[in-house]
Amino acid sequence: METAKGLRRTLTGVVSSDKNDKTVTVVVLRRFRHPIYGKFVQKRKKYMAHDPKNECRVGDTIIIEEHRPLSRRKRWIVRQIVERAV
């Protein structure tokens, strides 16, 4: 996905918190093979993402995109809600 500002990274994750106003916390799971033991390992990382319309709820699967810094910890913006939580 190329934009006017150039290439921006996108990540897919699950919303873990929506308590802040216009902000959601997204957990992104990364699965990779351990370099020595060969076992598959899962790593998690939390990102704060800007949700201007407060549409996301806990459990939603969303796509976030890199953005300019919006606050001290927010450098991502919600691009799309892929799947709603039940």
CB proximity list for 17: less than 8 A, separation 6 or greater: 24, 25, 58
pLDDT 10s digits, 6-42: 799 999 999 999 999 999 999 999 999 999 999 999 9
CATH 2.40.50.140 applies to domain 2-83:
yes
CB proximity list for 45: less than 8 A, separation 6 or greater: 27, 28, 30
Residue in the block written with tokens 């993402």: 49
Q: What is the pTM of this model?
A: 0.86
Please report, for the chain, the start and end positions of each structural domain, with discontinuous segments joined by +. 2-83
**Residue 86 confidence (pLDDT):** 87
pLDDT 10s digits, 50-73: 999 999 999 999 999 999 999 999
